[in-house]
Amino acid sequence: MKDILDTDLPVVNLHPGELFVAQEPTLIATLLGSCVSVCLFCPKQKTGAMCHGVMPIRPDLSVEDSFRFVETSVRYMIDVLTNGNRSCPNAALEAKIFGGADVLDVHFGPATDARSIGSMNIKAAREVLERYNVAVAVEKVGGVHGCKLFFYSHTGEVLLRRIPRSSVPKVKMNAS
């Protein structure tokens, strides 16, 4: 089997809080734990975009509206991929959601309804995609293992490699 990165395509490595909208065939890669990546693909145009969202939503209007937030990133990618492009309306986009693992022992909310940042990121991704009428074709989310993603922007194919929990540093924090 040919190595995944043995390609003539340009390779873009996304860091937390970044996104990339491909103008040409590109391999987009990222490493996820509790963060969420949404990969959007337009089969008719053979174009795609991917984000690496750190937090679910912008907490208030005084916070900069950046791509750190899942909701902001997904909304932006939908706008760019469909703006003025009648052959790729929102309903023609395919979405794939990855990440949102509980790799850190950090929860928010009352003890009876504790939510992890990973689960909140997953929820935000699902909600924004539903709001914009974009179907989710694949969802590999949650769990306790991080993953490495490779997204081929021109085919919509995503390859996922799980990261064994033993290779993730153990950090415990309590959030109030």
Q: 36 with 98: CB under 8 angstroms?
A: yes
Nearest to 49 by CA among 18, 24, 19: 19
Tokens linked to 132? 């914009």
Q: Is residue 176 very low, low, confident or very high in pLDDT (cuts 50, 70, 90)?
A: very low
DSSP 72-94: HHHHHHHHHHHTT-TTS-GGG-E
CA distance 67 to 128: 14
pLDDT tens, 111-131?
Answer: 444 578 899 999 999 999 999
CATH 3.30.1330.200 fits 13-167, yes or no: yes
- The per-residue pLDDT for 164 is 78
Inter-helix orientation angle 117-131/70-82, to 10°: 30
pLDDT tens, 65-98?
Answer: 689 999 999 999 999 999 866 668 888 999 999 9
Could you write out the three-class secondary structure of 30-61? EEECCCEEEEEEECCCCEEEEECECECCCCCC
Domain boundaries, the chain: 13-167
Instruction: Please report where in the chains the tokens 């991929």 appear, as a residue.
Output: 81
CB neighbours of residue 86 within 10 Å:
7
Is the confidence at residue 14, as pLDDT, over 60? yes
Tokens linked to 78? 């939908």
- Rounded to 5 degrees, φ, ψ at 148 are -110, 130
CB neighbours of residue 82 within 10 Å:
21
- Total-model pTM: 0.83
